[in-house]
Amino acid sequence: MAIKTSYLAKNVRTLKPSGIRKFFDATTGMTDVISLGVGEPDFVTPWNVREAAILSLEDGYTSYTANAGMIELREAIAKYVDDYYCVSYNPEHEITVTVGASEAIDIALRAILDPGDEVLVVEPCFVSYAPLVTLAGGVPVIVETEKENDFKVQPEQFEAAVTDRTKAIMICSPNNPTGSMLSKIEMERIADVAKKHDLLILSDEIYAELVYDDLYTSFAALEGMKERTILVSGFSKDLAMTGWRLGFVCAPQEISQGMLKIHQYAIMCASTMAQHAGLEGLRNGRADMADMRKSYRQRRNYMVQSLNEIGLPCHKPEGAFYTFPSIEATGMNSETFATRLLQEERVVVVPGNAFGDSGEGHVRCSYATSMSQLQEAMKRMCRFVEKL
């Protein structure tokens, strides 16, 4: 029998590789590179959290946990979400511990989508959203935000995009890559659209602890929204635990149990030692989180001021650890800007179009790097822009 030209599923064959990875590969073999490209903390996981994992291994906790995660951890997540976001979830039936927020997004989409169902995806956004909708058999319908609104989606945009196939709105605030955060009033207006059209909100709240000026509001905490919100979060950003692969998802019981069925067959359970570490982080990690937040805040202020002085205007992001300056004045597109900046000054930034077409004209610069590195990066970017 002749070998097929491709054994890949059509959805996979047509999937584009992430525009972020592609850029990092270009730095291989280069020295003295400063990366503002990464989407992860420069801090090491706090020691007590690491120690909890070591102790769990020493104590011989090397087997599977319950599929949904250790009950103590789910209880701690329920307490955390209740204490800080004022939403109460039942740890028995409404919380699943996942392999990062990434898995939580995947199982949420797979649990709710029938083939052809549409999901409104607000762009620019984290690179996985639209591909995961497609892989779950759904259709991503892109809603593009504008820099004039600091990249905050306007409820009328959802109204214009809703069809009778729309099942959910996917939203992330504070946002990756723009750092923009919706106010409570803006969220309420979006919630009204969801209620009017009977939509779910898939709310990626992974940056909820990295908020620098205002209080954070969870979509699930808004009046009448817990029953139509899937709250995704995790430990990667606020506790500097990207490599541990630990996240969680809270949702009404029916959806939660649907997600758990997928998680149980595909994953079984999150890593046991990571779960012990996460539990320690929730119980005793607040001071470390606050220290890291303080440091990010200083760096944000420094970077926003520097970029604006250099002539790369950017709004002051309310959360996460990214700035999203406009590079339009340079006359280059974001890919050319990022490529030349890397070649000429050895600074990595991510082209805005990696996060959707509406990110064009911008680059994402992460400030999850030390102040001294940031200062050097700003010096190099200033030199680069002045030369143009």
Site for ligand PMP in 232-271 (CB under 6 A): 234, 236, 242, 247
For ligand PMP, the closer CB: 178 or 306: 178
For ligand PMP, the closer CB: 201 or 385: 201
Give whole-number Cα distances, 314 to 114, 151, 301, 360, in Å. 40, 11, 11, 14
- The minimum distance between CB 38 and ligand PMP, in angstroms, equals 9
* Residue 101 interacting with ligand PMP (CB under 6 A): yes
Integer Cα distance of 301 and 280 in angstroms: 31
DSSP string for residues in 181-246: ---HHHHHHHHHHHHHTT-EEEEE-TTTT-BSSS----GGGSTTTGGGEEEEEESTTTTT-GGG--
For ligand PMP, the closer CB: 247 or 351: 247
The amino acid occupying position 188 is E
Among 41, 91, 100, 319, binds ligand PMP (CB under 6 A): 100
Closest residue to ligand PMP, based on beta-carbon distance: 100
DSSP string for residues in 282-304: HHH-HHHHHHHHHHHHHHHHHHH
Contact letters (x/-) for ligand PMP, 327-366, by CB under 6 A?
----------------------------------------
Integer Cα distance of 83 and 95 in angstroms: 16
DSSP string for residues in 144-178: E--GGGTTPPPHHHHHHH--TTEEEEEEESS-TTT
* Residue 319 interacting with ligand PMP (CB under 6 A): no
Is-contact 296 368, C-beta < 8 A? yes
Residue reference for tokens 């995660």: 69
Is-contact 44 370, C-beta < 8 A? no
- The minimum distance between CB 160 and ligand PMP, in angstroms, equals 24
Integer Cα distance of 164 and 360 in angstroms: 30
Kindly state the tokens that stand for 210. 């990295």
Is-contact 189 221, C-beta < 8 A? no
- The minimum distance between CB 204 and ligand PMP, in angstroms, equals 5
* Residue 173 interacting with ligand PMP (CB under 6 A): no
* Residue 102 interacting with ligand PMP (CB under 6 A): yes
Q: Which stretch binds ligand PMP (CB under 6 A): 6-14, 98-106, 180-188, 309-317?
A: 98-106
Q: Which stretch binds ligand PMP (CB under 6 A): 2-10, 95-103, 130-138, 219-227?
A: 95-103
Phi, psi of 230 (to 5 degrees): -110, 115
* Residue 281 interacting with ligand PMP (CB under 6 A): no
- The minimum distance between CB 365 and ligand PMP, in angstroms, equals 14
For ligand PMP, the closer CB: 124 or 361: 124
How would you class 18 by CB atoms within 10 Å of its CB: exposed for 0-12, middle for 13-18, buried for 19 or more? Answer: middle
For ligand PMP, the closer CB: 242 or 264: 242
Q: How many residues does the chain have?
A: 388
Contact letters (x/-) for ligand PMP, 29-68, by CB under 6 A?
----------x-----------------------------
Among 126, 158, 216, 355, binds ligand PMP (CB under 6 A): 126
Among 70, 172, 270, 342, binds ligand PMP (CB under 6 A): 172
Q: Which stretch binds ligand PMP (CB under 6 A): 25-33, 97-105, 147-155, 325-333?
A: 97-105
* Residue 204 interacting with ligand PMP (CB under 6 A): yes
Binding site residues, ligand PMP, CB under 6 A: 39, 100-102, 126, 172, 176, 204, 206, 234, 236, 242, 247
